[in-house]
Structure 1
């Protein structure tokens, strides 16, 4: 009987590497002020897709060049969840300890953009109150993890469908 490769070991390895790449990229984006550009937020897609592909590729190679859709989705989700946890912890650390002024800068930028779009003061206050519910305390961590896991799920669905290779029946 063949030894099944450890999807948890592979996911842990690639999840940590993906988190490190995401942390480096997000830190560069935050420090340089690129976060003000809407396109910069899409840069985090690149390491996620790349490392999900690498994780599934390693799993498939360790499994005799075969991987079912479910196995690929499982490896992708584990990889994404590990990366999400580590990256979200970094985000909390960054905004609370390393640069506690960052969220204030983001808030000021949001106000500026809302004023440019013609919102009145009441509408801006309402929008800011809603935003503060999701950026205060542990909610930012929870929303970061859940959002990242959801996005990893979507990417894993696509990558697993492309990379799957079922064993022949005969």
Structure 2
């Protein structure tokens, strides 16, 4: 790389693809909510496949704009920021959805959880304790923070693997 060639910004690529990932995940989640399949864990986990695809696309775009090069650290940063943006957007969406669109959503989820705990044979005291703890994580702020932290952790772990596969470090001496 000579003096006139500049390195692309890791952050600009990551923010762009994080926004795209967030929007796709929001649309997918909204579809699941509308057709009442949001409690299907397998279908909800497809959101992580979307995240993986967008992390790979972001790293590929970065490499293309950086003459085919991307260090392991750059890839890790890209994937983590993509995940953070997607998680933030997803958390904000769920907060808006549960606060303004389907205000009974959280109560319905709690009811399903209670039935699941009863089926597992838990006592009423155990169920009350579990639901008390769960309700403390229900507020809008906790919803956004929980989504953000969850996506950052998962995205970081995914990026550890994806970056190792996709890295192409610039030779030390060109």
Q: 1:29 aligns with which of 16, 29, 32?
A: 32
**Aligned partner of residue 67 in structure 1, secondary structure:** coil
TM-score, normalised by the number of residues in structure 1: 0.95
In structure 1, distance between residues paired with 2:88 and 2:117: 31
Matches within 5 A, 1:40-79: 40-79=43-82
**Aligned partner of residue 170 in structure 2, secondary structure:** coil
Residue aligning to 2:117: 114
Residue aligning to 1:103: 106
RMSD of aligned alpha carbons: 1.2
What's the offset of the Cα at 1:23? 0.2
What's the offset of the Cα at 1:93? 0.4
**What are the ranges of 5 or more consecutive residues in structure 1 without an aligned counterpart?**
none
In structure 2, distance between residues paired with 1:82 and 1:95: 20
TM-score, normalised by the number of residues in structure 2: 0.93
Whose helix proportion is higher, 1 or 2?
1
**What are the ranges of 5 or more consecutive residues in structure 2 without an aligned counterpart?**
none
Residue aligning to 1:39: 42
- Aligned pairs, number: 170
**Aligned partner of residue 137 in structure 2, secondary structure:** helix
Residue aligning to 2:87: 84
- The alignment status of 1:160 with 2:166, answered yes or no, reads no
Cα offsets for 1:134-153 (capped at 9, x unmatched):
11241121111111111111
